[in-house]
Structure 1
Amino acid sequence: MLYAGFMSATLPPFPKPQEPFEAPQLLEVGSAPEEPCLRADAARNRARLLEAAARLIAEHGVAGVTMEAVATAAGVGKGTVFRRFGDRTGLLMALLDHSTHKLQADFLGGPPPLGPGAPPVDRLRALGVAMLYRSVEQLDLLLAAQTEPTRRFSHPSLRALHTHAAMLLRQILPDADCELLAHTLLAYLDPALVHHLTRQCGVPMERLEAGWVDLVARVTRTEPPR
């Protein structure tokens, strides 16, 4: 059939259960892989710009963060901000890096169940719950930083989360296409969907959390916690 031929031509084969799985190295969040290490003065300038942007958000909300406003608040030329972050989306994504670093540190070396030491399905549940509450806390910033769809999934922070979710899934479902399945699961945690459900539909966080736990149980064919 045409459909089956298309699928086999575009999707990689599922990994065989007997093949050992080596988890890919998580990406360093906050900078593109090819970005060189910043000099000390450049790092200080970057920190000053981010501090200025954070103050603007605290005082005026995300809408108050423009490249010109950040430059003025930091006492530098607007060109400096563009050279450092590229555009407004790059600046907003950089602001998210601190919390992304913390989340990555928690699931790499923090206490279980989010960190190592718990069964993979428990870690997957904990990852989704942590991402849900992080999204609610930083919803406006997350939405503003994701205005360009073509850049959403290639950003190092999102790629690191996807890599981790796929690694956990492969430990639970070694015969599944865990790369694609991870995208499917993480779509439940999309900030735009969280915004729609919490602010437009009035869905409480307890229901979203329970929905995530139920989704993980159904996808992984495991029993939900009692």
Structure 2
Amino acid sequence: MDSDRSGPWSGSSKVPVDISFRTLPFEVSLPVRADAVRNRAKVLEAAARLFAERGVEHVTMDDVAAAAGVGKGTLYRHFGDKSGLATALLDQREAELQKGILGGSAPLGPGVGPDDRLVAFTTAYLEFLRDSLDIVLLSQTSTVGARFRPGAHAFWRRHCAYLLELCRAPEPDIAADVLLAALSAEQVQHWLVDRGLPFDQLAEALARVARSLATR
């Protein structure tokens, strides 16, 4: 089997996967005015910076509007409320990671062995969590089982299982679940915040775990 093909699109997939995110910027949509696109980009950039600096709960919509240099009416019209804004930011980051997996540079994208791609995914997803931890934690713990419902989770799971299948790892579907459980926002927060593990140390440890799962 060609290791350059990305798992979720593989014809060998055993389980149908809904890979649609809550919203994806590359889905078919009506044309958007250039100024609206610019305003959206400014708002998301400002929100990302403020969320990282203060935490989601300590940032108001007024704060974001002021930092982005847009009117509050524009902000509410595009995103509704802070929850909608956080969701849009998360969607953007998930979509960027998905694009990297499907057609980006190796080792995250095609072009290297499946074990190296699995390690690259683990590191890239951990970096995604580091930059979006408050938002992902909120989305994954809002209700029981929330982590498993988004199409994004189904995509990550199928990608990992596919790479593990190529490695001929035992029980690739279960192994994918094990890896993603270790990469849940709640678990990562426990390691980084509660236990105070340095990010680089955690990234190296999880990379070793991912490689061990890929080994027969």
Q: What is the TM-score of this pair, normalised by structure 2?
A: 0.69
Residue 75, structure 1, aligned to residue 66, structure 2:
no
Relative to structure 2, which stretch is displaced further, 21-30 or 162-171? 21-30
**C-alpha distance 58-196 of structure 1, shift in aligned 2 (>3 A):** closer
Deviation at residue 174 of structure 1 after TM alignment: 7.0
Compare CA radii of gyration and give the structure with the larger one.
Answer: 1
Count of aligned pairs: 199
Deviation at residue 209 of structure 1 after TM alignment: 2.5
1:92-149, CA deviations, whole angstroms, 9 ceiling, x for partnerless residues? 1221223222222222112222111111111111110111222223323333443414
1:64-110, CA deviations, whole angstroms, 9 ceiling, x for partnerless residues? 345687689853559x84x8667654431221223222222222112
Residue 29, structure 1, aligned to residue 21, structure 2:
yes
**C-alpha distance 38-148 of structure 1, shift in aligned 2 (>3 A):** farther
Deviation at residue 48 of structure 1 after TM alignment: 6.8
> Where does residue 12 of structure 1 map in the other structure?
none
> Where does residue 164 of structure 1 map in the other structure?
159
Deviation at residue 47 of structure 1 after TM alignment: 5.4
> Where does residue 89 of structure 2 map in the other structure?
95
State the structure with bigger RCO (CA 8 A, min sep 6), 1 or 2. Answer: 2
Deviation at residue 182 of structure 1 after TM alignment: 1.5
Residue 152, structure 1, aligned to residue 143, structure 2:
no
Deviation at residue 204 of structure 1 after TM alignment: 2.3
Asked if 2 retains the 8 angstrom alpha-carbon contact of 1:66 and 1:88, the reply is yes
Residue 215, structure 1, aligned to residue 209, structure 2:
yes
> Where does residue 57 of structure 1 map in the other structure?
51
Deviation at residue 202 of structure 1 after TM alignment: 1.9
Q: Give the Cα–Cα distance (whole angstroms) in 1 for the partners of residues 179 and 49 of structure 2.
A: 34
AA at the equivalent of 2:157: H
AA at the equivalent of 1:148: S
Q: Give the Cα–Cα distance (whole angstroms) in 1 for the partners of residues 85 and 141 of structure 2.
A: 12
Q: Note the 1:82-161 alignment, pairs <5 A.
A: 88-149=82-143, 150-161=145-156
Instruction: Say what the alpha-carbon RMSD is for the aligned residues.
Output: 3.7
> Where does residue 196 of structure 1 map in the other structure?
190
Gaps spanning 5+ residues in structure 1: where? 1-19
AA at the equivalent of 1:157: A
Gaps spanning 5+ residues in structure 2: where? 1-10
**C-alpha distance 74-61 of structure 1, shift in aligned 2 (>3 A):** farther
Q: Give the Cα–Cα distance (whole angstroms) in 2 for the partners of residues 135 and 51 of structure 1.
A: 17
SS in 2 for 1:173: coil
Asked if 2 retains the 8 angstrom alpha-carbon contact of 1:169 and 1:182, the reply is yes
Deviation at residue 206 of structure 1 after TM alignment: 3.5
- Between the two proteins, what is the percent identity of the paired residues? 37
Q: Give the Cα–Cα distance (whole angstroms) in 1 for the partners of residues 142 and 213 of structure 2.
A: 29
**C-alpha distance 59-122 of structure 1, shift in aligned 2 (>3 A):** closer
Asked if 1 retains the 8 angstrom alpha-carbon contact of 2:18 and 2:155, the reply is yes
Asked if 1 retains the 8 angstrom alpha-carbon contact of 2:164 and 2:172, the reply is no
Q: What is the TM-score of this pair, normalised by structure 1?
A: 0.66
Q: Give the Cα–Cα distance (whole angstroms) in 2 for the partners of residues 60 and 102 of structure 1.
A: 24
Q: Give the Cα–Cα distance (whole angstroms) in 2 for the partners of residues 203 and 159 of structure 1.
A: 28
Q: Give the Cα–Cα distance (whole angstroms) in 2 for the partners of residues 174 and 21 of structure 1.
A: 16
